[in-house]
Chains A and B, each alone.
Chain A
Amino acid sequence: MTLLLQAALAGAEATVNRVLRLDGVALKRLGRLAGKVLEVDCQAPALRLFILPDADGLHLAAHHEAQVDCTLVAPAGNLLQLALAKDKTRVLHSPEVTMGGDSAMLLELADILQSLELDWEYEVSRWLGPVPAHLLGARLRGGMAWAGDSLESLRLSLADYLAEESRSLVGQQEAEARFAELDQLKISLDRLDARINRLTQKIKPDA
């Protein structure tokens, strides 16, 4: 079991560091966190992991006998969300997540991982050469831009169809007008409530 865990950690560490090396500044920023230790305590399934950043990347360990700088306790789902989410600070502030110690270290680490800009074209060029890598990169970027535009167009058309054509959903402007009316009504009710309270105080005989 010990060796299986070690093998899993070694594999994960190698993969993560390979990805980190694709970013021009991530390793330099991680180097500033060298010597710090983050303990990640996953609940359900129970698993404790230590992350030691330095200028070579992230080192993962199942045991760490010295003092840790920051502790993060969260269920596996939240940790996965933290790894994938663009806005990591929002996940860190959710009620299921508990942080202890030097949270600045954790926020800095989250920021480094969040702002990764991976140069895949460089990695591909090492294997295929610069010209094919550039052609492939340009084709992929074009494809991704087309896919992005198409998805956005689909989203807008779908919203338009559901709100205007099928009337299954309320349109955004209609909803906003109704919300504004509700807000106005709430303010009027508050005012009325205050007025009634004031009148009640006036007619109440003095004690």
Chain B
Amino acid sequence: MSEPRKPQAGQDSADPTTHFGYKTVRESEKAEKVAEVFHSVAAKYDLMNDLMSGGIHRLWKRFTIELSGVRAGNRVLDIAGGTGDLTRQFSRLVGPTGEVVLADINASMLKVGRDKLLDSGVAGNVSFVQADAEKLPFPDNHFDAVTIAFGLRNVTHKDEAIRSMLRVLKPGGRLLVLEFSKPTSSLLSKAYDAYSFTLLPLMGKLVTNDSESYRYLAESIRMHPDQETLKSMMVEAGFDRVTYHNMTGGVVALHRGIKP
């Protein structure tokens, strides 16, 4: 696990450092910098996701929905829900007797997600909350399922966030973490590196006129814990029966844990 880092000699011991992509920044600055990235990309987030993944992100999310075990009447929290891809499906699954909360720390992403869902008629059982994954503003034992898709790597204190998710889950509830991870083949890893550090920033430049945000995306993926590390973090936080499924050769992994 790479964060939080201990303060270096000469640094303010009250404000330790962490990473922002490959850069080292003060912990207090990271959330602000991540927010800047998402404010910048929010309007074209869906388009960029489709372009970057060739549409495969829809299949990763589809598999996440299947493994969630969510059914009618359940209460679901979709953290870092962004433009609401998972929330839309959960809203359908839980039906009028259930509830889905789309939470995102970034106001721009939340606004895009809310507008998109309301415009497509998803309403009634969905609520929108601007919330920090590390300090979830919900009661203990409240949700049947919690998901965080492509959000955990942007969180400053991942272990705190995982503990917070455990707290709000009901006993027997599931946490699903869908996140970029480490490719299982070295050949794929090399091709993926070449793609991430050349094509991704170029696409970002062409579509959103912001190559830096997509350079951060590539770097933040490399700094994110690999499959086994994230699994051990979930076990350490108190989750039971933690398993993960590699997808697209490990480019993305879906971790699942049950609250005992």
Q: Give residues in A with beta carbon < 8 Å to B.
A: 2-3, 6-7, 9-10, 34-35, 52, 54, 56, 59, 61-67
B58 interface contact, C-beta 8 A: yes
Q: Which chain A positions have C-beta within 8 A of B92?
A: 54, 56, 59
- List 16 A–B pairs whose Cβ atoms lie within 8 Å, in order of A's numbering: A2-B247, A3-B247, A10-B58, A10-B62, A34-B72, A34-B95, A35-B71, A52-B93, A54-B92, A56-B92, A59-B92, A62-B66, A63-B63, A63-B67, A65-B67, A65-B68
Say what secondary structure dominates the interface of chain B: helix
Q: Give residues in B with beta carbon < 8 Å to A.
A: 56, 58-60, 62-63, 65-72, 92-93, 95, 245, 247-248
Q: How far is the CA of A54 from the CA of B93 in the complex (A)?
A: 9
Q: How far is the CA of A65 from the CA of B59 in the complex (A)?
A: 18
* Contact between B67 and A3, CB atoms less than 8 A apart: no
Q: Which chain B positions have C-beta within 8 A of A67?
A: 71
Contact of A66 among B59, B63, B69, B247 (CB under 8 A): B69
A49 to chain B, nearest CB (A): 11
* Contact between B58 and A3, CB atoms less than 8 A apart: no
Q: How far is the CA of A85 from the CA of B245 in the complex (A)?
A: 39
Question: Can you name the residue of chain B whose Cβ is closest to the Cβ of A3?
Answer: B59
* Contact between B247 and A61, CB atoms less than 8 A apart: no
* Contact between B245 and A2, CB atoms less than 8 A apart: yes
B95 to chain A, nearest CB (A): 6
Q: How far is the CA of A59 from the CA of B65 in the complex (A)?
A: 12
Q: Which chain B positions have C-beta within 8 A of A2?
A: 63, 245, 247
B256 to chain A, nearest CB (A): 10
Q: How far is the CA of A6 from the CA of B61 in the complex (A)?
A: 10
Q: How far is the CA of A191 from the CA of B248 in the complex (A)?
A: 76
* Contact between A3 and B72, CB atoms less than 8 A apart: no
Given A62-B66, A63-B66, A66-B71, is A10 in contact with B59 using a C-beta cutoff of 8 Å?
yes
Interface centre among B58, B62, B65, B68 (most CB of A within 10 A): B62
* Contact between A6 and B62, CB atoms less than 8 A apart: yes
* Contact between B59 and A61, CB atoms less than 8 A apart: no
* Contact between A3 and B248, CB atoms less than 8 A apart: yes
* Contact between B95 and A35, CB atoms less than 8 A apart: yes
Q: Which chain A positions have C-beta within 8 A of B59?
A: 3, 6-7, 10
Q: Which chain B positions have C-beta within 8 A of A59?
A: 92
Given contacts A2-B63, A66-B69, 5 further A-B contacts (CB under 8 A): A3-B63, A9-B62, A35-B95, A65-B67, A67-B71
B143 to chain A, nearest CB (A): 16
Question: Can you name the residue of chain B whose Cβ is closest to the Cβ of A55?
Answer: B92
Question: Can you name the residue of chain A whose Cβ is closest to the Cβ of B68?
Answer: A65
Q: Which 5 pairs, one residue from A and one from B, show the smallest C-beta to C-beta distance?
A: A65-B69, A66-B71, A63-B66, A35-B72, A6-B59
Q: Which chain A positions have C-beta within 8 A of B65?
A: 61
Question: Can you name the residue of chain B whose Cβ is closest to the Cβ of A34?
Answer: B95
B72 to chain A, nearest CB (A): 4
Question: Can you name the residue of chain B whose Cβ is closest to the Cβ of A65?
Answer: B69
* Contact between B95 and A6, CB atoms less than 8 A apart: no
Q: Which chain A positions have C-beta within 8 A of B58?
A: 10
Q: How far is the CA of A61 from the CA of B67 in the complex (A)?
A: 10
* Contact between A64 and B62, CB atoms less than 8 A apart: no
Given A56-B92, A66-B71, is A61 in contact with B66 using a C-beta cutoff of 8 Å?
yes
B128 to chain A, nearest CB (A): 22
Question: Can you name the residue of chain A whose Cβ is closest to the Cβ of B249?
Answer: A3
A96 to chain B, nearest CB (A): 28
Q: How far is the CA of A10 from the CA of B58 in the complex (A)?
A: 9
A144 to chain B, nearest CB (A): 37
B181 to chain A, nearest CB (A): 15
A10 to chain B, nearest CB (A): 6
Question: Can you name the residue of chain A whose Cβ is closest to the Cβ of B248?
Answer: A3
